[in-house]
Structure formats: structure tokens, C-alpha cells
Homo-oligomer: A and B are copies of this chain.
């Protein structure tokens, strides 16, 4: 039996030649999904997988998988497929997982609490080191083990602790104020739940907007299209 080590050695050599030509945005958007599926396979104890098997699981073409993964260098091996553990760790690295980012959640309403309680951050190597809110009843307490501070302390805290990521779950009206404070304090990324596109002059900050409303609307659209189809085919049968 061919040893996994030998295979691994070969991988390492090839990856050194990683192409640094810019990765298509379409590929980048798909990386988190690969990460998710490979993580599941790893948990299930799988060691290797071919592009064709993965394509069936993920509902994409095998060709696309090979094309995508090759943007970052040769992760696979002819005749063998892909080593799941290795591939997973490489994609994790590419995505910046396990960079050990520190993050704060601004807004301790229902959404802020929901985010304080998920395991989503930990799984991606992100530490939630503080919550911020204006409500005096919760300032000074802990929520899911995360200390809650007053929002007035946000700037100093982020500056001192060199916080990398800020999560914004405050009302729309407060979003810009908080975002500017975060940016001024050197925060590098903002995860914005304020249901609006947050445009900052300061382009040293990356904003990832979550648009739940758009998603809900897309669902409405699809439901409507489906209902219309049903209606039409019912009419046809009459």
C-alpha cells in the first residue's frame, strides 16, 4: 500500500509552486462551501475523496472542483484523488481560519445574543472577547461567558486589544456611528447585520453585509414562481 506520507510529501512539493495569479471571485465565493463539506467528511472519518465523488455530494461538476482547487496549486494526486485532511487544512489556511482573530459584538439584543451563543466563531478560530451595549442593566454582566461593556468604551477597548473583527447588530440608526468608531480604532473587518449597505470612506476596513431581507425576498420570489406554475398547470388540465 502506498503510504499516505509519501503522498503527502508529493503534495507539499507541488504546493510550493502555488500560482499567485489572482483567483476568480467566483472561486472565492465557493471556498467556504468546500470548507464546510470537507469538514463534514473529515468528521465522518473519511481519508480521501475524488473530484467525482465530491461533485455528487456537493451537486456541482467534477470539472469545476478540479478547476477551482487548481487555482491554488496542485492539491490532488492523479490516480488517488484528494487527501481530505490536507485539503481541508489548506483551504482553512487560504480562508484565514485559525489566524486567531479577536472579535467584539456590538449590540446585545436578541441577534447579538444569538451570535454570542453559537459555536460558529470558535470553529473558525475567532475569539469573541467582548459584547458592547448601551443598556445599563446588562453592562458589567456576562452573556454566554462573554463580558458586556458599555458602548462608550468601544473605541479604547478595540484600540488597546487590537481587535480584528467587529460584529454589528445595532439598530440601523446607530450603525454608521459604531462602524466609524470601529474603523477609527483599527478594526480590520466589520460583519454588518444592520440591513443596509454600509459604505465607509475608510477603505482599510472590509465590510461584509448580511442582507437577511434580501434572502427572505428571494424565498418569496421562488415561492411565488412555484405557485404560479402550479396555477398554470392546473388551468391547463381543466
- Whether B120 contacts A114 by the Cβ 8 Å rule is no
Q: Which residue of B lies closest to A230 (CB)?
A: B204
Q: CB within 8 Å of B: which of A26-75? A: 28-29, 31-33, 35-36
Query: How far is the CB of A146 from the nearest CB of chain B, in Å?
Result: 13
Q: For A31, A95, A165, A195, which residue has the most chain B Cβ atoms within 10 angstroms?
A: A95
**With the chains together, A208 CA to B219 CA distance in Å?**
6
Known: A191-B215, A208-B215. A220 touches B33 (CB 8 A): no
Known: A96-B220, A97-B220. A33 touches B214 (CB 8 A): yes
- Whether B188 contacts A96 by the Cβ 8 Å rule is no
Residue A111 CB within 8 A of the other chain: yes
Q: Which residues of chain B come closer than 8 Å to A225, judged between CB atoms?
A: 96
**With the chains together, A103 CA to B104 CA distance in Å?**
33
- Select one of B95, B165, B211 contacting A221, CB under 8 A: B95
Q: Which 7 A-B pairs have the closest CB atoms?
A: A96-B224, A110-B114, A32-B214, A96-B220, A208-B219, A189-B223, A32-B217
